Amino acid sequence: MADFTHDAAAEREPLRLGQMVQYAGAAVSLALVVGIGIWGYRMVMRDVSGIPVVKAMEGPMRVAPTDPGGEVAPHLGLSVNAIAAEGGTAPPEDRLVLAPPQTGLTPEDLAAQPLDGNDAVARAEAEAGPTPSSPAPPVVPATQPERQTLTEEQIKALADEIAAAAATAPGDAAAPAATQTGPVIIPASVPGVARSLRPLERPQGLAPGAVAVEAAASGLSAAAARQTPPGLTTTPIPAGTVLVQLGAFPSVEVAGHEWLRIAAGAPDYMTGKDPVILEAGTGARTFYRLRAKGFADMGDARRFCAAMNLDPTQCIPVMVH
């Protein structure tokens, strides 16, 4: 009699389930590979030979508005809008009314005579009424003044009368002063200075001509000094001194003559200004700076440059450090 055990059947069942899972995974992988291949083939063929087609939208492309004429504007249909609305001239109106004629002046208005400037002022004052302080003058009716034409002889006679009156007026005014020729004596009883002080007489040895000669000599010496070109400045300039540079020149003589030219062109602005010529150099090149001294501060120097009306590159305020 054969013996049957249940262990063999239990061992075969797990092996069969594992094989089914493997087969299913292989089928899914194969289907995925085939699907990717087909999709790639279609993409390549569509890009090479395919024609894109755009599907039209449903419905009409343009829709007519509900009111084709648009919004109705006010005053539509009047004659003034007929040309713009209909493209032609409007028909004539059924009823035409002419404007009334212009009203002119009445005979009463024409009888009055126009007023000139003086009569208008008098009429305005009369209408304003009298002032409380003074009685109102009687109003004279306005009359047109008669214009008289003067001849040449009458004009000359009138000018002679005016000149004669002007010549006699100073004499008449000076007549009362000429009557008081005697000195006015103040009584001793009146308090105050009894004797007026008088200036001393000029010394006999002082000659006015000598003073004039000395002034002329000093003026000539100053003019001669101004005509002499300044030389190189050797004295040290204290720190804080404000100068105005007027340019840089290759030699001292050129700088001196430039100073004389500027001083002669503007003598009023150069009064009280002293020349300063300083030697400077850059590398192997030597030049001389022309500067002016005699300014209170930097503001005074800037005003000097503005008054001289020089090029900003030629007039530069500087301060000695």
Q: pLDDT tens, 204-262?
A: 655 555 555 455 445 544 554 557 878 888 788 888 899 988 888 888 888 888 888 88
Whether pLDDT at 34 is above 90: yes
3 state SS for 211-275: HHHHHHHHHHHHHHHHHCCCCCCCCCCCCCCEEEEEEEECCHHHHHHHHHHHHHHCCCCCCCCEE
- What pLDDT sits at residue 272? 85
- What pLDDT sits at residue 32? 96
Q: Which of 102-116, 119-133, 242-256, 291-305 has the lowest mean pLDDT?
A: 119-133
- What pLDDT sits at residue 67? 76
Q: In 3D, which of 282, 246, 279 has the Cα closest to residue 261?
A: 246
Looking at the DSSP bridge assignments, the partners of residue 287 are 280
C-alpha count within 13 angstroms, C-beta hemisphere, residue 309: 2
Model confidence band, residue 33 (pLDDT cutoffs 50, 70, 90): very high
Where do the structural domains in the chain lie, given as residue ranges?
Answer: 223-319
Report how far residue 277's alpha carbon sits from residue 285's, in angstroms, rounded to the nearest whole number.
Answer: 17
pLDDT tens per residue, range 4-19 = 555 555 555 555 788 8
pLDDT tens per residue, range 185-195 = 666 666 665 56
Q: Mean pLDDT across the stretch 273-289?
A: 85
Q: Which of 49-63, 139-153, 254-268, 303-317 has the lowest mean pLDDT?
A: 139-153
Q: Mean pLDDT across the stretch 26-39?
A: 95
The angle that helices 208-227 and 252-265 make with each other, rounded to 10 degrees, is 130
Quote the tokens at residue 65. Answer: 């508005």
User: Which residue would you say has higher pLDDT here, 321 or 154?
Assistant: 321
Model confidence band, residue 111 (pLDDT cutoffs 50, 70, 90): low
Model confidence band, residue 31 (pLDDT cutoffs 50, 70, 90): very high
Q: Which range scores top for mean pLDDT: 57-66, 180-189, 240-249?
A: 240-249
C-alpha count within 13 angstroms, C-beta hemisphere, residue 113: 8
Class (C level, CATH) for 223-319: alpha beta
Q: Which range scores top for mean pLDDT: 61-70, 152-161, 169-178, 182-191?
A: 61-70
Q: Name the strands in the sheet holding 274-282, side by side, starting at the edge strand that comes first in the sequence.
A: 274-282, 285-293, 242-249, 316-319
User: Which residue would you say has higher pLDDT here, 85 or 297?
Assistant: 297
- CB within 8 Å of 93: residues ≥ 6 apart: 79
Whether pLDDT at 55 is above 50: yes
Whether pLDDT at 129 is above 70: no
- CB within 8 Å of 288: residues ≥ 6 apart: 232, 248, 249, 250, 251, 252, 254, 255, 277, 278, 279, 280
